[in-house]
Structure 1
Amino acid sequence: MDFLQKIISVLNTALWSYVLIALLIILGLYFTIKSRFVQFKFFGEMFRLLGEGASKSISSEGREQKGVSSFQAFCISTASRVGTGNLAGVAIAISMGGPGAVFWMWVIALIGGGSSFVESTLAQIYKVKDEHGYRGGPAYYMEKALNKRWLGVLFSVLITISFGLVFNSVQANTISFAFEEAFGVNRLIVGLVVTALTAMIIFGGIKRIAKVAEMIVPVMAIGYIAVALFVVFKNITHVPAVFSLIIENAFGIKEAVGGGVGAAIMMGIKRGLFSNEAGMGSAPNAAATADVTHPVKQGLIQTLGVFTDTILICSCTAFIVLLSGVYTNTKLEGIQLTQKALSSQVGAWGNTFIAICIFLFAFSSIVGNYYYGETNIEFIKANKLWLLAYRAAVIGMVIFGSVAKIQIVWDMADLFMGIMAIINLIAISRLSKIAFAALQDYSRQKKAGKNPVFSVDDIGGLENAECWEKKKKIA
């Protein structure tokens, strides 16, 4: 195990210290500039579309629809995004990279909004129909747009292993640690309970997954933000000092606990990407399921998910940890640091609250992550036996994660996430002009006072976009 740990550590250092950081920043900036700062320019439109999707989701209650609603697709991707990275991951970033890591998490989210828009719009353009509605993602646009099915298969294998198996063991790992810290419950027992609940949902298909995500995500996000705001207002006079601490350590003006500016950048970007998944190729799998009139609509909604995850929820954890001052305690790790930080501000019930939050956050991630694997297994081969084997493997990894050593689980997650991100970033860099053309079409229709509707002939030379037939546009 120690030998395996060393190999994974060496690969992660090379991947994250050089290759991935450069790709994320360069391509993120490229997408941002070429899209004319889509993640900022259309910020208000994102909220309007999300509200429109939520109202359609409510109005379609009890009726069969082609796919899931745009709001449900947003909740599935947010369920996957908002998990251990927001509570345990932020604490790890601060303890290992210092307060400056928070600044670099913000930067990667702002830049990553451009990458998120491109990948999710492409997933919508190249989605396919299935018995449940729609499915798609990076594997699908690699095959249909790049004509490289082998690359799509490679990506499918990676995302199935990383999200469905490795990342789900990370989520279960954090749940079990949180409950052990809060209630003294045996970690194996926690793992068995989580496994049973997981099995009940994943055997119900995408519609059940969408319903669960739609119920859990808003409740958990609002509850956690409310408690974080209480901590901030309680310490309002110290907030300017926390901002100063973050900025000073981000640029090496003042040495951070655990290292200087290099550690802050690496941990901020690593944990930031793990949390918001921008450019990684995961969220597009959820984006493709939505039934919308124009691909750009879901591209914008998914971009809002990056901001919700990092700028909002990760910042909540960061301020709780930094205002408490407990991040200097080197004996605390991961979720236990977040629990101790909140308890120091609100009392003993903070432990219990974080345990409940991490259960909701991490369990929703397990459900969302599972779906990413399912849709990619269907891409490789639509076979019920393969799907059954995958579900069994997911259940096994949830139990394994509940009792495993924390460091090797996180390191494996970093490695698979990095490889996935590189493959997807290269693919979307080659296909980004299609997403930009779709954005121009959307903007043109909006300026004409229309509700944008997309058809395959809106982009010259567009092929294999089977869900967007030529049709007469409506106002």
Structure 2
Amino acid sequence: MEIINDFLKSLIPYAEWLMLFFVIGGGIYLVFLSKGFPYRNFVHAIRVVSGKYDKSDDPGAISHLQALSSAVAATVGLGNISGVAIAIYNGGPGVVFWMWLTALIGMCIKFYSCGLSIMYREKGEDGKFLAGPMYYITSGMGKKAGSLAYFFCIAGLVGFLGVFTVNQFTQTFMNVVEPNSTIAALGDFNWKLTIGILLSVLTSLVIFGGLKKIAKVATAIVPFMVLLYFIAVIVIMATNSENILPSFKLIFSEAFNFKTAFQGGFWGLVILGVRRAVFSNESGLGSAPMYHGQSRTKEPVQEGLVAMLGPFIDTIIVCTLTAITIIISGAYLEAESNGIVMTLIAFKKSLFGYGDVLLMFIVAAFALSTLFTYSYYGTRCLSFLSNVKIGKWFNIYYVATITFAAVASVDLVLNLIDLAYALMCIPNMIAVIYLAPQVNASVKSYVARLKNGEI
């Protein structure tokens, strides 16, 4: 595995600079092109989500709120709990600032990409809408751009695996339960492999349709776990309120530490922030348009505004809460290994010695719900590359990688996903930037009709 990891490491520097160019450079271009329209209409976006403009006869399968909830549910989870810890472990508190900046730019990217998903969605053989980068690339840019769509889908076959989720859940279990020392009679029993196999079996039963009720239960538990996580974080911040302001000051001061010892220096720190923010809220990645393209609406602008709220909720709110918890607890100075360990230390120290156990249950709920639902993206990619029947075979490959992820190192899993994400960003952002003027034309029409009371 070390050979594979070294190979991935050698490719990432090239891909991540392209990702930085497209996500930050392209995102800033979109901010100016939109003249700040998404940000100026933040309140209007909330009204759209509330259902004020919903029409039952509009085409689509789900409401604006359901689309946003699905997209946010796919991003709020381990990316916010362990992704932030990984960022701080590797780059220090200053990296959080660059995650914020990427998220703010990402809001504009989501506005354009998810608006395009409504403009260029297609009906499949089953009557349901097909949406996402591959469809607005081929329909919006023409058949000559088909290679970009195929490139996106091929990268998606790796990027849309549940390997990070499995890896971090396994690491959580091993650190909290410490089974090899707790159950001494089993000696050096391979717990990681066992966890991987069990998760593979459970996921198989659900995604192949055998136990749909389990998936519904797990999905239903997630909102409760999110609330529980919020309460836990607020308790930690309330009991350490005197350290909140110094924590924010540390983030800002370290963000512009041009003499940082982080590998790659200052620009390396910026790139790390971009990578972890994209990993957290998927801005520029192209996954959210697949969900938002199912929305019941005729208005691309409305769905773009709804989607814009995703990065704000995911990174500006949730990731910030995690980051402040880690910093005020001092866990970022104690963690000796990468991954979720840092967050576990923060919770254990700050919640009366039992916070790590609480976090383990929260992580378990996030992990299971993610594994049960994340295969949708990969299935859509393989279906586009081949057909719907072959697309379903993605689930077999998806399940097989779960056991691998449980025993793999954090670095290997991160490098694999980071590379795939960077490669997915490139064709998606090329398409979004190219097609952005069409969204602007839709904005002009929408604003005029809104003023006239036609919406």
* One-letter identity of the residue aligned with 2:84: V
User: 1: CA distance between counterparts of 2:18 and 2:60?
Assistant: 40
User: 2: CA distance between counterparts of 1:102 and 1:252?
Assistant: 13
Tell me if the contact between 1:104 and 1:268 (Cα under 8 Å) persists in the aligned partners: yes
User: 1: CA distance between counterparts of 2:204 and 2:127?
Assistant: 19
The residue number in structure 1 matching 2:39 is 40
- Residues 90-145 of structure 1: per-residue CA shift (max 9 Å, x gap): 11111110100000000000011111111111011111123262121000111111
The residue number in structure 2 matching 1:351 is 356
Tell me if the contact between 2:236 and 2:351 (Cα under 8 Å) persists in the aligned partners: yes
Change (3 A) 1:256 1:446: farther
Alpha-carbon offset, residue 24 of structure 1 = 1.6
Change (3 A) 1:297 1:75: same
* One-letter identity of the residue aligned with 1:76: S
Tell me which of 247, 251, 258 is aligned to 1:246. Answer: 251
Tell me which of 332, 335, 347 is aligned to 2:340. Answer: 335
The residue number in structure 2 matching 1:410 is 414
The residue number in structure 2 matching 1:159 is 156
User: 2: CA distance between counterparts of 1:114 and 1:209?
Assistant: 36
Alpha-carbon offset, residue 413 of structure 1 = 0.6
User: 2: CA distance between counterparts of 1:439 and 1:353?
Assistant: 46
SS at match of 1:233: helix
SS at match of 1:52: coil
Change (3 A) 1:97 1:363: same
How does 1:302-451 map onto structure 2 within 5 Å? 302-384=307-389, 386-451=390-455
What RMSD in Å do the two structures reach over aligned CA positions? 2.6
1:103 aligns with 2:108: no
How does 1:194-205 map onto structure 2 within 5 Å? 194-204=199-209
User: How many percent identity over aligned positions?
Assistant: 31
Tell me if the contact between 2:379 and 2:392 (Cα under 8 Å) persists in the aligned partners: no
The residue number in structure 2 matching 1:268 is 273
User: 2: CA distance between counterparts of 1:216 and 1:55?
Assistant: 27
Tell me which of 166, 180, 198 is aligned to 1:172. Answer: 166
* One-letter identity of the residue aligned with 1:278: S
- Residues 288-335 of structure 1: per-residue CA shift (max 9 Å, x gap): 122223122221111111111100111111011101112112513211
Tell me if the contact between 2:150 and 2:385 (Cα under 8 Å) persists in the aligned partners: yes
Larger CA deviation: 45-54 vs 137-146:
45-54
User: 1: CA distance between counterparts of 2:442 and 2:121?
Assistant: 15
How does 1:88-127 map onto structure 2 within 5 Å? 88-127=82-121
So what's the TM-score if we normalise by structure 1? 0.85
1:183 aligns with 2:177: yes
Alpha-carbon offset, residue 53 of structure 1 = 8.5
User: 2: CA distance between counterparts of 1:86 and 1:446?
Assistant: 36
- Residues 11-64 of structure 1: per-residue CA shift (max 9 Å, x gap): 112322x322122212111111211213311211222222229999xxx9xxxx
Change (3 A) 1:10 1:214: same
Change (3 A) 1:139 1:8: same
User: 2: CA distance between counterparts of 1:344 and 1:54?
Assistant: 47
User: 2: CA distance between counterparts of 1:357 and 1:319?
Assistant: 18
Alpha-carbon offset, residue 275 of structure 1 = 0.7
Change (3 A) 1:132 1:370: farther
- Residues 179-199 of structure 1: per-residue CA shift (max 9 Å, x gap): 222223523333334333423
Alpha-carbon offset, residue 200 of structure 1 = 3.8
SS at match of 1:24: helix
The residue number in structure 2 matching 1:461 is none
Larger CA deviation: 99-108 vs 327-336:
327-336
- Residues 350-403 of structure 1: per-residue CA shift (max 9 Å, x gap): 11221122223333333443111122222223342x234211111111121112
Tell me if the contact between 1:249 and 1:264 (Cα under 8 Å) persists in the aligned partners: no
Change (3 A) 1:150 1:259: closer
Change (3 A) 1:411 1:346: same
Q: Which has the higher contact order (CA 8 A, sep 6+)?
A: 2
Tell me if the contact between 2:85 and 2:343 (Cα under 8 Å) persists in the aligned partners: yes
- Residues 195-230 of structure 1: per-residue CA shift (max 9 Å, x gap): 33423442359x999967863553333222222112
* One-letter identity of the residue aligned with 1:446: L
Change (3 A) 1:357 1:22: same
User: 1: CA distance between counterparts of 2:444 and 2:218?
Assistant: 32
So what's the TM-score if we normalise by structure 2? 0.89
User: 1: CA distance between counterparts of 2:135 and 2:52?
Assistant: 24
1:70 aligns with 2:33: no
Alpha-carbon offset, residue 430 of structure 1 = 0.6
The residue number in structure 1 matching 2:184 is none
Change (3 A) 1:433 1:214: farther
Structure 1 residue runs without a partner (length 5+):
452-475
Structure 2 residue runs without a partner (length 5+):
180-190
* One-letter identity of the residue aligned with 2:413: V
Change (3 A) 1:183 1:51: farther
Larger CA deviation: 7-16 vs 137-146:
7-16
SS at match of 2:123: strand
